[in-house]
Structure 1
Amino acid sequence: MASGSPKRGVKWFAVLLVVAAAGFAAWWFTGDARKAPEPLNTVEVTRGDIQLLVSATGVLEPSNYVDVGAQVSGQLETIHVRVGQNVKEGDLLAEIDPTVYTAKVDATRAQLKNQQAQIADRKAQLRLAEIQFQRQQNLYREEATTRESLQTAEATLASAKAQLAMLEAQIEQTSSTLRAEEANLGYARIYAPMDGTVVSIEARQGQTLNASQTAPVLMRIANLATMRVRAQVSEADIGKLEPGMRVYFTTLGDPDSRLYGELDYIEPTPEVTNNVVLYNALFEAENPQGKLLPNMTAQVFFIQKEALNVLRVPASAVQGNTVQVLDAAGNPQAQTVTTGISNRVQTEILSGLEEGQEVVLVSRDPRSGAGGNPSFRGMLR
């Protein structure tokens, strides 16, 4: 019995040693005091541009266009252009059957010729009446004719003058009618009123046009060299805009290309859609390559403020007027800075930092409390 006691003591000591080692290991690997800190999330201070933007959605439309209509009625005989075709001012676009208008012009011209022939006869009769009246005056002075004959000659002369004046008035009226008929005949041929592109054709060959009340629209010609962007801006942002401010936009087909312009004006009357109040802000953009087309959707950005080629850091790195920078040993240190504009993504640094310095990004994880990188707070404790 006595000889067995030391062996049991050694065994118990070994067991206790193992339990203690296990407990120490558990404490070492799971205890907060020995927990390895998480790596800091840092980023370099860079130099670049910062823009404070007001965004909106817009639609493209031609800056200048004309709806080409028909001024006379009739059957649309020929359309000489197609959609997308470029035209010059004066190019023939379409023709209406001119048969009726040609007949009217011919009839009026014939009437005018008849009246012109009559006026030659009236002038001859007037000349004869003047001669007879002069003869009667001479005879009356010599008492070789009666006063009644003189009065008759005088009345004949006055009648000849009146008939000539009446016929001259009829000729003026007929000439005016002829000009109108010739104009209507000319309107049967429709010409381009401006340089541009045919963006739509509303009529079809063979269609009968009725221009007695309103001019039927045949097609639209637009100047696509300069486009207008009509952007709809919410009432919450419209007060941030003013004419002359810079603006750029992208299209769905080319989202990487920015096209710039200047805000021209804001329409004062809003559009209300589903209880949302939107104001139209308009500006123009050059379209030398013709890639911008009517009714394209544009993502518009009005530049409220901008800072070019400035020091900047992510907005999440700035807390008040301080940032956390890494020292030579890699430990975070609070650094006071002066900030400029911020667009919620990046913040301009006016002083306090240099390009290339490492700053700590502050986490917004709700599990970390009021804010701040959990690993960073662990290192500060």
Structure 2
Amino acid sequence: MFAAGWYFWGGNRAEGQKTAYLAEAVTRGQIEDTITAVGKLNAVRSVNVGAQVSGQLISVKVKIGDHVKENQLVAEIDPTPSEKRVESAQAQIDNLYAQLQSKQAQLKLKELNAARQKTLLASRGVSQSTVDQANAELAMAEADVKALKAQIRQQEAQLDSYKVDLGYTNIYSPMTGTVVDQSAKEGETLNAVQSAPTVITVADLSTMTVEAQVSEADISRLKIGMPVYFTLLGQPHKKFRGTLRQIKPTPQTENNVVLYNALFDVPNPDGELMINMSAQVYFVIGEADNVLLVPVSALIRKNEGTSDDDDKASYSVKVVKDDGSLEIRPVEVGVKNRVQAEIKSGLREGEKVVVTSASSTADGDGKSGPRGPRPGGPFF
């Protein structure tokens, strides 16, 4: 709130000049120094729930806006092709086990034959070549058994893969949240060969993330953990508060303007915050309540080598005394924005400080001097 202004007239007889002063009273109130930005709301966490196998989508069990729990069944793909592949793989395994049983019987026979030939060789009943032949046939039988066992392991792994694919025909939500989008409809054929087609999107709307775009001129003033709040277009007077948690290091450039994305989270227990809402964001550099305030135009910077934002900068103000004369008084400045400044010491509430002044030549009689407030009362 701005204070009323008063015009005061003072002069210098020697120089024949008179000066009009626009002064404002020192008030008490609240002040904050902020950096403003525009942002968008999004869910703090969201996931696209897709199909991992190809097939016809025969059922979608949820709709947009529904609340789902983790591991809840949300859609089904026709399981018939996957069931047939499982059945075929199981039949091939059964066939391989039958072949293995036959090969193991032959291996047993070869083992007995090799042992017999070895015994006969000791009694000179057979030649060495006959024994060697029996040993070779035994080794071949052992190799056949090993090969069949390897085929069985391979086929069992393939069967497990088919069973997994069969399980993928039932699609479950990976998280608790709200269905915010549905990309596929019942009856559509989904092709999951190259990528996983999205069926629905689930988002956790209990906490929202605001992503604000901050100019490169202001980004150095932001600090992780600083307070921040925003308002909505539909609720300009309600403040949603949070804490800055991240500044993305890679900027975006729009129309040659470099913008950095600053993120913070806000709770959304009532669900009034929605995805893609526009937010007017305020990063709070400093704030104070129930303090003395003056217009920033009343400050006179004493340290010429420092900037207005420098903590070492010192200031003074011109105070209008009761007789209309001016007194330059040093003040200690606290929080300061583009409009007002907090005065920590040096002024009292109700005192008037000069915000603008203008000089002109005195009247012909040369009379000038301090005078009280101009008739007509306060100037607004």
Give the TM-score normalised by the residue count of structure 2: 0.77
Q: Which residue among 297, 312, 319 is the counterpart of 2:278?
A: 297
Corresponding position of 1:29: none
Pairing partner for 1:221 from 170, 186, 202:
202
**Corresponding residue for residue 32 of structure 1:** none
- The residue that corresponds to 1:108 in the other structure is 89
Deviates further, 105-114 or 338-347 = 338-347
Alignment of 1:201-240 (within 5 A): 201-240=182-221
Cross-structure match for 1:311: 292
Q: Displacement of 1:192 after TM fit?
A: 1.3
Name the structure 2 match of 1:94.
Answer: 75
- C-alpha distance in 1 between matches for 2:55 and 2:325: 86
Alignment correspondent of 1:273: 254
Q: Which amino acid aligns with 2:341?
A: T
Residue aligning to 1:20: none
Deviation of 1:272 (Å):
2.5
Larger radius of gyration: 1
- CA shift for structure 1 position 240: 2.1
Secondary structure of the 2:130 match is: helix
Q: Distance in 2 between matches of 1:317 and 1:198?
A: 56
Partner of 1:264: 245
TM-aligned CA deviation for residue 302 of structure 1: 0.8
Amino acid at match of 1:299: Q
The answer to whether structure 1 residue 159 and structure 2 residue 147 are counterparts is: no
Q: CA deviation at 1:183?
A: 1.4
**Contact in 2 for aligned 1:312/1:349 (Cα 8 Å):** yes
Q: Measure the CA separation in 2 of the matches of 1:41 and 1:309.
A: 22
Shift of the alpha carbon at 1:87? 1.9
Query: 1:41 & 1:338 partners in 2: Cα distance?
Result: 17
SS of the residue aligned with 1:237? helix
Q: Is the 8 A contact 2:43 2:204 kept in 1?
A: yes
**Aligned-pair CA distance for 1:136:** 1.7
Provide the rounded CA distance (Å) in 1 between the counterparts of 2:103 and 2:165: 32
Total equivalences in the alignment = 331
Q: Report 1:1-381 matches (<5 A).
A: 45-46=27-28, 48-315=29-296, 321-322=316-317, 324=319, 336=329, 338-340=331-333, 341-354=335-348, 357-360=349-352, 369=358, 379=372
5+ residue gaps in structure 2? 1-21, 301-314, 361-369, 375-380
How far has the Cα of 1:61 moved from its partner? 1.2
> Which has the higher relative contact order, 1 or 2, with Cα contacts under 8 A spaced 6 or more apart?
2
Distance 1:180 1:141, change over 3 A: same
Identity %: 44
Which structure has the highest helix share of the two?
1
Using the TM superposition, name which of 159-168 and 190-199 deviates more.
Answer: 190-199
Which whole-Å CA distance do the structure 2 matches of 1:74 and 1:159 have between them?
Answer: 45
Residues in 1 aligned to 2:170 and 2:242: alpha-carbon distance in whole angstroms: 39
Distance apart, 1:322 and its partner CA: 2.9
Give me the whole-angstrom Cα distance separating, in 1, the residues matched to 2:236 and 2:136. 91
CA-based RMSD: 3.0
CA distance in 1, matches of 2:144, 2:117: 21
Task: Report the Cα distance in structure 1 between the residues aligned to 2:266 and 2:318, rounded to whole angstroms.
Answer: 41
1:177-220 superposed Cα distances (whole Å, 9 cap, x missing partner): 11111111111111112222222111111111111112112222
Counterpart AA for 1:152: Q
Q: What TM-score does the superposition give when structure 1 sets the normalisation length? A: 0.77
Against the structure 1 CA distance between its residues 325 and 92, is the aligned structure 2 distance closer, same or farther, given a 3 Å change threshold?
Answer: farther
Q: Distance in 2 between matches of 1:200 and 1:317?
A: 55
2:359 and 2:85 map into 1 onto residues whose CA distance is: 90
- Check conservation: 1:316, 1:361, Cα contact below 8 A: no
